[in-house]
Amino acid sequence: MELLNAAIVLANFIVVPALSYGSQLALGALGVTLIYSVFRFADFAHGDTMSIATMMAIFVTWWLQAQGVGIAPLPIGLLAIPVAAVGTGILLLVIDRLVYRHYRRARAPLITFVIVSVGVMLMLNGLTRFIIGPGEQRFADGARFIISASEFKQLTGLREGLAIKTTQVITFATAWAFMAFLFWFLKFTRTGTAIRAFSDNEELALLSGISPKRVVTICWLLVALSATIAGTLYGLDKVYKPFNYFQLLLPIFAAAVVGGMGSPTGAVLGGYLIAFSEIAITYAYKRVAGYLLPESWQPEGLLQLLFTDYKFAVSFGILVVVLIFRPTGLIRGHPG
Amino acid sequence: MSKRESLYFVACIGLIFIVGLMQSWNVALALVNFGLVSAILALGVNIQWGYGGLFNAGIMGFVAVGGLAVVVTSAPPVITAWEAGAARIFLALAVAITTIAGAVLLWRYLNKGWLRTVAIVFWLLSGTFLFRWLFDPAVGAIETIDAARTGFLGGLGMPVLFAWPLGGLLAAVLALAIGKVALGLRSDYLAIATLAIAEVIVAVLKNEEWLTRGVKNISGLPRPVPYEINLQQAEWFQKIALITGLDLAEASSIAVKLCYTALLLVVLFVVFVLCERSLNAPWGRMMRSIRDNERAAAAMGKDVNGRQLQIFILGSAVCGIAGAILTTLDGQFTPASYQPLRFTFLIWVMVIVGGSGNNWGAVLGGLLIWFFWIQAEPMGYMAIEFLTSQMDFESPLRAHLVESAAHTRFLMMGLFLLLVMRFRPTGLIPER
């Protein structure tokens, strides 16, 4: 019984949150890794791309709410994702046309792309702040819990409850649906194969008649879709605030690098790895110890390895370890 | 400098004069002072990027460490807190350093295999427990001492000017650690690693209250220049104020700012001369050749990694000095104010727009971009007032736009960066 209670505590405070947060990071890292595999640069604007995509989803949500549309128990945000993804796709294509294409044609060095992406980041950031403001926006509606802690306790008779939020399940399901689609797309469609060929060897791909324009366009559209899903799910699950999205850039980069830049499987792996470590290392295990250890062994402290505010340090620590021991990432991406 | 390039500087000074005439001389001088610090910062980044081609996305971290140096040197010491836990804290920090060093040694000198992994894990875990056992009670003891006013160790109570070189030193040590890990990999990995370390440093400064009081901030840090109130009471100053015709409060505030301007000009001059001389020395030529073609430079027998580490440390040290100066100018240490957009990416806009690889360009970029960063708000406000002047005064859209005017600065900075990168990638004053 004690063991079961301890397991429930762990599931409630570590496994469930980490699975949903990990899915969000994985989607974000997929976007970064896709951009990297086709364009060969780390996109600093990706956090703000997610932010502006979520902003669009919020506006669509508000509009639908005003029309009286509701799909309870699901949040309306889900309906808004396709519309926002189209908007984000158009935005990214316009940015590519106005900004990145020039440097692609000029065969500019990699770091030029990074700097230009900083410019795009600043502009997108300014745009979101200008339109929706820097404050917090909550736009989740529908049922809050699939099962709440008290319901769970009643159901099982255990002392600890396991709460599962609707948004957590939706996040997990949507993320995996998108990932299944993406992997299928990359593996089994002609366009997907073209993207992989382009990513492996650009010149050879061009030689065999793959249209670079098409690859670029499809890639940006996939990035838009993943960024919109990741951003909207994060906003539904937690809260929308432009600055938080900018800060997401760091764990997302860490996930992509840890997994192996340019490898989609690696990005998913890295996303979950970062999320689990972040939450597991900053969690206070006192309550778990309460169930597992005999009375006289009870520790005085919280049994917390790191304060929650140090979650960036976890991303950073993993990043450093990987950079030292395996710079190509867990799954060998492009060594660059 | 060519004629056009000197015109940029003239234009810059002209802009500041306009602000002085239209808004106030106090505002104009504040612009000059912070513009000068920005110029020093931009020089530091220019050393890394312009000479060495290193993309440092963690400038904020080095600036924050410089700020910490001010606290450590000049805040008055809290004797009771020192007695309560200082010894234990330093012991804990020594344990932490020994643990890490020991792990590195174990890694080096044991043979590869599972035994080594187990030994290292065991070593690290026991080190962590020992550290926490020493550290946690000491922190608790320090933070409870008069928590509303102090609750931290305080500093050494030395004159604040000592903090400036110390800020550079702390930043240099930090750069050494980060450079050892991230240099020699792909160029964007350095960017990602530095972005991360900066966030970690700011998190530490926000949370280690025994060191920095965290988000409770430290105000009233000593100054290297006189206080307004003392000037206002001094007879000789009252006479000067009478002659200039300004009221006493404004005159004293301007006088203090002028003192800072003089100090900053001295620092800027020294850093600038050193930068210029090293750039034009064989060392500078070597650095640029490494930047332009690492392999060729390596083939000529240059130690590419060693040189890049050196330049990363030097540039970061300048950023640390600038960070210490910034905190001195503010007179307070507020960890929550360190934001990457303001302290990292804004500096990048300065360097790129000014002209990477050219020290004059860095100085110009620092002054000019700081001007627009501050003046973007009134400019955006004016532009929106003008654009919406035909709209209904009560319209909510107009109200929202006017309210959002402050955010035009990010748009403006992004636009500057993109336009310069596209149409004048060498910047306003190109490298020679």
| pLDDT tens-place string over residues A193-211 | 999 999 888 889 989 989 9
- Asked whether the beta carbons of residue B403 and residue A127 sit closer than 8 angstroms, the reply is no
CB contacts under 8 A, A 121-160 vs B, are 121-127, 129-131, 133-134
Q: Which residues contact B327 (CB under 8 A, 6 or more apart)?
A: B66, B67, B70, B71, B163, B221, B333
Query: pLDDT at position B70, please?
Result: 96
Query: Among all residues of chain A, which has the CA nearest to that of B405?
Result: A130
Residues from chain B that touch A44, judged by Cβ atoms under 8 A, are 57, 191
pTM of this prediction? 0.93
User: Is A332 part of any domain?
Assistant: no
Q: Which of A111, A246, A250 sits opposite B188 (nearest CB)?
A: A111
Least Cα separation, residue B417 to chain A (angstroms): 5
As a whole number of angstroms, the distance between CA B184 and CA B306 comes to 10
What's the full length of chain B, in residues?
A: 432
Least Cα separation, residue A80 to chain B (angstroms): 23
C-beta of residue B158 within 8 angstroms of C-beta of residue B74: yes
As a whole number of angstroms, the distance between CA B132 and CA B139 comes to 10
User: Is A333 part of any domain?
Assistant: no
Give the tokens for residue B199.
């966030």
Q: Which residues contact B244 (CB under 8 A, 6 or more apart)?
A: B251
C-beta of residue B392 within 8 angstroms of C-beta of residue B348: no
Architecture of the structural domain at B3-77+154-423: Orthogonal Bundle (1.10)
- Asked whether the beta carbons of residue A123 and residue B53 sit closer than 8 angstroms, the reply is no
Residues from chain A that touch B426, judged by Cβ atoms under 8 A, are none
Query: Among all residues of chain A, which has the CA nearest to that of B425?
Result: A112
User: Is A172 part of any domain?
Assistant: yes
Query: Among all residues of chain A, which has the CA nearest to that of B348?
Result: A115
Q: What is the largest distance, in Å, between two alpha-carbon atoms of chain A?
A: 73
Q: Which of B132, B415, B425 sits opposite A123 (nearest CB)?
A: B415
Q: Which of A129, A327, A336 sits opposite B410 (nearest CB)?
A: A129
- Asked whether the beta carbons of residue A122 and residue B414 sit closer than 8 angstroms, the reply is yes
- Asked whether the beta carbons of residue B422 and residue A112 sit closer than 8 angstroms, the reply is no
Q: Is the pLDDT of residue A245 over 90?
A: yes
Q: Which amino acid is at B184?
A: G
> Which H or E run includes B17?
helix B3-22
Least Cα separation, residue A124 to chain B (angstroms): 7
CB contacts under 8 A, A 35-54 vs B, are 41-42, 44
Give residue A239's domain range: 2-325
Query: Among all residues of chain B, which has the CA nearest to that of A302?
Result: B136
As a whole number of angstroms, the distance between CA A140 and CA A236 comes to 5
Least Cα separation, residue A222 to chain B (angstroms): 23
A173/B contact by beta carbon, under 8 A: no
As a whole number of angstroms, the distance between CA B34 and CA B15 comes to 15
- Asked whether the beta carbons of residue B188 and residue A110 sit closer than 8 angstroms, the reply is yes
Give the tokens for residue A113.
């792309």
Least Cα separation, residue A208 to chain B (angstroms): 29
C-beta of residue B198 within 8 angstroms of C-beta of residue B350: no
Q: Which of A122, A305, A306 to mutate to test the interface with B (most CBs of B within 10 A)?
A: A122
Q: Which of B136, B181, B425 sits opposite A301 (nearest CB)?
A: B136
For residue A35, the domain's CATH number is 1.10.3470
Q: Is the pLDDT of residue A336 over 60?
A: no
Q: Tens of pLDDT along B342-378?
A: 999 999 999 999 999 999 999 999 999 999 999 988 8
Query: pLDDT at position A335, please?
Result: 44
As a whole number of angstroms, the distance between CA B279 and CA B288 comes to 9
CA atoms within 13 A on the CB side of A311: 18
- Average pLDDT per consecutive 10 residues, chain B (432 residues; last block may be shorter): 88 94 92 97 95 93 96 91 89 94 91 90 93 90 85 90 96 93 81 90 91 89 91 89 86 94 97 94 93 92 93 96 96 93 96 94 96 90 84 80 85 95 94 86
- Asked whether the beta carbons of residue A129 and residue B404 sit closer than 8 angstroms, the reply is yes
Q: Tens of pLDDT along A98-107?
A: 999 999 999 9
Q: Is the pLDDT of residue A217 over 80?
A: yes
A302/B contact by beta carbon, under 8 A: no
Query: Among all residues of chain B, which has the CA nearest to that of A320?
Result: B181
A306/B contact by beta carbon, under 8 A: no
- Asked whether the beta carbons of residue B348 and residue A112 sit closer than 8 angstroms, the reply is no
As a whole number of angstroms, the distance between CA B341 and CA B118 comes to 42
Q: How confident is the model at residue A334 (pLDDT cuts 50, 70, 90)?
A: low
Q: Which of A42, A125, A253 sits opposite B341 (nearest CB)?
A: A125
C-beta of residue A148 within 8 angstroms of C-beta of residue A163: yes
Q: pLDDT > 70: what percent of chain A?
A: 99
C-beta of residue A260 within 8 angstroms of C-beta of residue A329: yes
Residues from chain B that touch A134, judged by Cβ atoms under 8 A, are 407
Q: Is the pLDDT of residue A298 over 50?
A: yes
**What backbone phi and psi angles, to 5 degrees, belong to A238?**
-110, -100
Query: Among all residues of chain B, which has the CA nearest to that of A41?
Result: B188
Number of other CB atoms surrounding residue B275 within 10 Å:
23
Number of other CB atoms surrounding residue B48 within 10 Å:
26
Q: Name the domain count of chain A.
A: 1
As a whole number of angstroms, the distance between CA B3 and CA A116 comes to 29
- Asked whether the beta carbons of residue B421 and residue A119 sit closer than 8 angstroms, the reply is yes
- Asked whether the beta carbons of residue B404 and residue A254 sit closer than 8 angstroms, the reply is no
User: Is A153 part of any domain?
Assistant: yes
